[in-house]
Each structure stands twice: as structure tokens, then as C-alpha cells.
Chains A and B, each alone.
Chain A
Amino acid sequence: MNANDGKANASRYSHYVTNDFYLELIADFSDWQNNDKIVSDVGERDLFRGLLEREARNLDRLLFEEWLDLFTPECVYWVPSTPAGGDPRSEIAIMFDDRRRLGDRIYRLRTGYAWSQAPSSRTSRIVSNVEVFRCSRDDQRLVRSNFAISEFWDGQIRVLAGWAGHRLRKQEGEWLISAKQVNLLNCDQCIRNPSIIL
């Protein structure tokens, strides 16, 4: 069996990236990091911290399919090319993947011919400063965290650093990632081989 005959093939069609989807995304990621919206419950914060740690572990172990299982079916993975995040309808992003394109990304890495990841980078991700914020919807949370990814590639270790915003939604009793915004510190600069999943 081909390594790619599995879950990455699941989404042939993608209908959900509409103008309303963009507008909701932009609204959710605007003006959300307010002190009065912080969730003070330690248990809830630990729940989300655990989810982010599991996410980081899956990526460090190159378990991309398990990583994708942490996302909702109609999700987005967004790495803006400007520090402000911007409007992805009129600005190129470093990455802006719907679920199908995340499947493409994983499929490509699994072909064995993705020369930028042959051999694969080894990574060690540290996720910290986790804060959980309430939103207008009860079944939704926004989580801010800082990250530092040490990446070993081509004989050298470098650090990719920044902060992430996770939008989580409770679906069938389970919290899943409906949007991940990765804000690299050097998002508007030239970056060497940006080919790992952040």
C-alpha cells in the first residue's frame, strides 16, 4: 500500500472557503486578545495546553495524518506574510491551506520526491505562554501561544519563532482546531527553505 492511500485522500472537494468564511476568520482574529476575555479556569487552560502539546508532538514525530485529525473538517491553516495578519482575500499568505490543501501538503511530503524535505527536517517544538480567550460563541475558544521550533536541516539547527492563534470549536463533544494562524517573527522577510509544517 502506498503511504498516501490513507486519510490525506479524504477531501477531494472543498466548498467551504467562501467570502463569509473569510469574513468570519478575519473578524475572529481581530481584537481578540483582551484581558476581560481570558478564561481563568486552570482546568480549561490545561485542556488546551495539552491539545497544543499533542499537536507539537505529532508534528515533531512527522505524524501528519494524526496532526490533521486534530482539525475540524472545514479548517484553515494560515501563515500570514505580514505581522498584522491582514486580509487573506487581497494579500498573499506564506501559507493559506484549507483541509484539502493540507492534504496536498502532507501528500507531497510523503511522495519521497519533495527534495526540500529529503531527508526530512528534525524538529523540536516548544509551546508556551498559553492563554485561552472566550469569544461570542460558547462552543468556540481562541488560544494564544508562543512557539520556538528548533529545526535541524542540511547540517544546521535554526530557530523559527513567533506566536500562534488557534481557533478551537467543540464538535460532538470534542475540541478541534478550526483555524490555526501562525505568526512568524520574520514573516515579511526572505526565509530559507520554509517547507516544514509550522
Chain B
Amino acid sequence: MTFERIKIMKRPQAEPYYDWDGLVQEDRVHRLIYTDPVLFDMEMTHIFGGTWVYLAHESQIPNPNDFVTSKLGLRPLIITRDEKGTIRALYNRCTHRGTTICRVAKGNSRGFQCPYHGWNYSNTGKLRGIPWPNGYAEKLTKDEKYNLAQVPRVESYRGFIFGTLNIEAPSLVDHLGPIKKPIDEWLNRNPGGKVVLCEANRFKYKGNWKLAYDNSGDGYHVIYSHRSLVQTENRFDDEATEKGMSYYQTDPDALPMYIQYMGNGHHFKDKRPALKKRPGGLWAIEPLHPGMEHVQEKFRSMYGERAESMLDLAGSEPVNINIFPNLSLLGNHIQVFQPVSFDETETVWYGTKIEDVDGTLGEEALTDINALRMRTQEGFPNFGEVDDLTNFEQIQRGLTAPEDEWIYMNRGYAIPDRIQILEDGTVKGPATDELFMREYIREWKRLMKSDLNIAIQREV
């Protein structure tokens, strides 16, 4: 297969001259990066195309010929697994007239037929046949330009499927770099080191997608934006341990939890050091959920010492693993950010369940754990996320004022000895610091300034 290098035809002056260093400064950014539709159009290729972007999870297409629809920026895609198991990210766009050829979210099929003129493609993207071929001077199925476009580079890391249009990008593994370690730990606590996606809490908000990414590691907003949640989680005063997010209540910067910038836009919020590591430790900080007393009592009477670590499987890992630009692993969720326009974004909180990979749990315990895991995962989207999304919308509204230009990201900035640069180049600071915003937006600027080598490819 060869790469089809693209010099995209654009409307005149589609990309005006931006003063990137003026827009993104050391400690603040200009409102235009959230409010300018032309800049958003550039992002849809320079960011959502120029770097590795999360597309789907392998557990959504476990079997040959499974498919799921997705997006790369605004491009509609079909992520397919062909008969031999190869995963591709096909453009959901008929090569004839541009119609989308797949209109369902998921399924199993060897191919796709365009509902407009009946062009028929295999799930490898190859054009298999068209109605009345004699009306064309040449045999279209022999010419690869009529095969579906594909994202030229698609790679997976432990079930997470990514794609990029940038043929000069490093390998996915190199691109992830140090953030691989928290991903591994997040997976490895589950049986067989894997999770399976189930349904999702799906939201949208009227605001720029970066407002969600800015928030993903923000330890400063927790106690205020989520004030109603924290109060609700602690509404019964008979509990010895404080629940959920309450460890933010006193002086979060004095606790051993931290924020760490991991390079290439990725960052990691680790709240685990604030907790004592022990079996049942994660379970102990869970707020109240439907079914928890029943399963807890049942497990403790049936499984003895094993019960605590089994309950931990229904509990959430207190980490936020944020993979630029659109993936966040937090608690047990796989959250995906999907830009819609400069002032509209979708955030989908996929739930994850576990499998009894080695048969040590048994069907009954597995059902109980997953049922409880569903209920623990419904808590934050319902009682926390909705308040953040409202605040994101209100930021977007505040930013309509053109004269008041700056958004500050300077918490923790220029304070001697506050931030450490580690040997591997990662940058670490206290939990409420905005250092990850300053670092990731620098990577954003680098990509926006770059003259990228963008390509698509087609099956031969």
C-alpha cells in the first residue's frame, strides 16, 4: 500500500497568519484558541490528524467482520476488523459522490453498500462492484482510487486503537512514552489485564473541546465545581472514612498526590499516594452505591480474605490518565472527547466491565462485581460531570467578550522548588497545579505551527 500525500485544496486565505507565540504564552493563552472557527478548522487536521488520536477500543469489535463507527476530528470513520483480524479505519465516505455508506453505530458485516447508487465495498475498503459498470470507460474495481480512503496509520496499544494521518509521526508506543506505565497499571489491576467497554453516559456541551481537556487533570476545580457532589457523598455523618473526592477538602497540595506531565500532550493525575495501599483500600473510599451493602456482605461471608480485593474490582482507581487530545481514563471510565464545532463538544463516558479471564471469580461473583461496577460508574457522570459541563459552557460564554483577552494557566508557575523535572523529562507538581495545561498547550502550539506531512491511503 502506498501513501497518498495530500496537499489539501482550501478556500483562499483559509489559514490566516496566526501569531502562535502571542496566542499561547508561558502562563496564559488567548481567548481566540477557544473561540475562532478558522482556528478550529485547522485543529481538525493539525491536532486531529497530526498526532495519534484515539478511535475505538478493540473490545467493541472483538470478532471478524465486526465494525464500529467513529470520527477522526470531524471525519466520519468506520473502524473495521476484517476476516483475518486486521483493523482498519475506513473513511465513511463513498468514493463516488461522498455519501456515508454506513449509518449504524456498530454491527458485523463483510462489506458496505452505498445507499445512494449502490457502490459496494468490502470491509477492507476495496470497491467490489457497482451497478451497470458498462457506463464507465474503465473498470472501476481495477483502479485503487475508487477504494475507500483509509487512515494511513492505525495502531493499537493494549486494546486502545489510535490513528494518525501524519506519516512522519513516531510509532504509537513511542508517542505514548511514559504515559504507558499508568495505562498498564490501570489495566493490570483487572483480571487478565483487560477491560471490556459497555454502554456509556453520553453528554454534549456548548463549548470548545479544549475546555474538557483543560479540566481533565485539574485538581483545583474539584472542591468548588463539585461542591454539591462532595457534600452529597458526605451527607451521612456516621462514616469514619471520608468518601469519594473528599480528600480534596483540606489542603490537597500538602497531600502526596500529584500531577505529572508525560510529554506529547499527555498527563497523569495520581491520587493513589493519598491512600493507604491495602486490599479493600479502593472499596473503602467508594461513596454509597446501589447494591453495595448486599455484595459486600455476601462476598465477605463467602470468600473470606479474598473478598476485599474482589470488591476493589467494583471500586474506582483514583487516577486520571489523559492522552492528548481525546482520551481520558479515569476511575473505571474510558472518556472520549469529540469536537463538534469550535463551541460544541461531545464527551462520552464509556463504562468498562471485567471478564473472568482465568475462571477464578466464577460466574456469580463476576455478575455481582460488574453490576456493582456499573452503579459505581454512574455516580460521577450524574452528580459531577453535569456541573463541570455547565461551567465549561459558561466559560465559552465569558470568552465572547473580545477585549478581555486572556485565560490564565499560571497556578504553580514561577514558584521556586514547586515543580520537579524528572530524569525521563516528565514534569511533576502538586495536585492543583495547572502545569499540565501549560505543557500540553505548548504541544498543541507545536502541532498547530507545524507543516505536517498528511496522507491517506487506499487498499491496492
Contact = CB atoms under 8 A, between A and B. Distances in A.
Interface of A: 4, 9, 12-19, 22, 76, 81-82, 86, 88-98, 100-101, 104-105, 107-109, 111-116, 154, 188-195
Contact of B378 (A16, A18, A96, A193): A96
A17 B290 contact: yes
B128 interface: no
Which secondary structure characterizes the binding site on chain A? loop
Interface in B197-212: 198-206
B199 A81 contact: yes
A89 B227 contact: no
B44 interface: no
Given A91-B199, A91-B351, A101 B290 contact: yes
B109 interface: no
- A-B pairs, 7 with minimum CB distance: A92-B351, A17-B291, A89-B371, A98-B290, A116-B386, A113-B227, A190-B204
Contact of A111 (B202, B232, B291, B391): B232
24 contacts: A4-B235, A9-B236, A12-B238, A14-B292, A89-B367, A91-B199, A93-B374, A96-B290, A96-B374, A97-B290, A101-B288, A104-B235, A108-B231, A111-B228, A111-B231, A111-B232, A114-B387, A115-B225, A189-B202, A190-B204, A192-B389, A193-B205, A193-B389, A194-B203
Contacts of B289: 101
Interface string B130-170: 00000000000000000000000000000000000000000
Interface of B: 105, 198-206, 225, 227-229, 231-232, 235-236, 238, 288-294, 297, 346-351, 353, 364, 367-368, 370-371, 374-375, 377-378, 382-383, 386-387, 389-391, 393
A80 to B, nearest CB: 8
Contact of B229 (A13, A89, A108): A108
Nearest to B352: A92
B355 to A, nearest CB: 11
Given A12-B238, A13-B293, A194-B203, A92 B377 contact: yes
A114 B388 CA distance: 10
A81 B201 contact: yes
Given A190-B202, A193-B389, A19 B382 contact: no
Contacts of A101: 288-290
Contacts of A12: 236, 238
B197 to A, nearest CB: 10
A115 B391 contact: yes
Contacts of A191: 202-204
A57 B238 CA distance: 35
Nearest to A86: B199
Contacts of B346: 190
B383 to A, nearest CB: 6
Contact of A9 (B235, B390, B393): B235
A100 B236 CA distance: 11
Contact of B370 (A90, A111, A190): A90
Nearest to B348: A190
A154 B198 contact: no
Contact of B201 (A92, A104, A112, A116): A92
Given A12-B238, A116-B386, A190-B348, 15 more contacts: A4-B235, A9-B235, A9-B236, A15-B293, A76-B290, A81-B201, A92-B351, A93-B378, A108-B228, A108-B229, A108-B231, A109-B228, A190-B346, A191-B202, A191-B204
